[in-house]
Structure 1
Amino acid sequence: GLSRVPDLVVEENGWKKTVSDNVGKAEAFKAAFFPSAPTESLVPDNPVYPPEAWEFHLPADHQVFRAFKRMKPYKATRSDSLPNVLFRECADLIAPRFGPFLRATFTLAYYPEDWSINETFVARKPGKPDYQMPGAWRPLVLTSCWGRPSNSVISEITVKGAELHGLLPQMQFG
């Protein structure tokens, strides 16, 4: 059968309150997992940025190939996405066809909205004594099968550039 989230106990204005409806539970998890945005922007009004540290080059097909090969084969993806194992096992066929799409996101300054849509659900943190508290749960995020490798390639390019130009702190790990 399907598992369900038990009634949650949340604190509101100094009082403990039991939430039993799904909308209330969703709001409780949202408050626990995602802090509210600051009321004012933390970015200065007229920021002055330093010059670019390196010249960005569009992603190459071999970088897309590596991103596909790094995908965990049986990790869950969004319900409307293809499984990772398909990309991993067919990387040599898919990378040369996906590479132009990824490069187009830069040349056209367009990132498909579908690539950034996630599905988030909750799972119990093991060994917690009271699952009525929102903090005893954790969010699990399922992403698009196309967004994950594109983000992986961009991350690889950014980290490599930062490492080559000495922009990471000496004790930076991970």
Structure 2
Amino acid sequence: MLTALLPYNHLGPYESREAVVLPNINLGGRASATVTLDLRGLLTGTVTFTNMHGDVRSSSWAEVFINGTGSYTTYSWDGFYEVYLPQGVYTITVEEAGLAAQSISATIPDGGVSNLNFYLRPSGEAVPEYEYCNVLVTFAAGITLSLLSVKLNCRSRRPLMVRSEDAAPAVCTR
């Protein structure tokens, strides 16, 4: 079956636009069919932004929303994205936290390649960032509380009853 060869949850480069019907086929019989697959259009491009130092950088994990004949979502990976789409007119919107969204309309041809590059500008909204010192203090406090909890848990346990006089006393080993 062809669908087993194509990755699921992702439109592949080919699609069958005609129903395949094989009439009068017995379960044990043999049949052959010719299937025509059409090549979808490829939308590809880059997503870049300017960092706080004024350097242009590629954007990883920016969300690329595609609305038109259908609705699709993909993500940029190291600044690049690509998606196969059925022929049609689409509005492509790219978003990332701390950057202003950008939208472009495009016509995707059958079997063709459309290249759309996005340059996102800062939105003015602060993106929460954590200083190294704060992360280290939080991590150390978590470890300390965890060890303290284990120690208190051992103290609250009742010792085991040992009847033999030469046996060692019970010790909490957690």
After TM superposition, the score normalised by the length of structure 1 is: 0.17
Identify the structure with bigger relative contact order (alpha carbons < 8 Å, sequence gap 6+): 1
Task: Please identify which structure carries the higher helix content.
Answer: 1
Which of the pair has more CA radius of gyration?
2
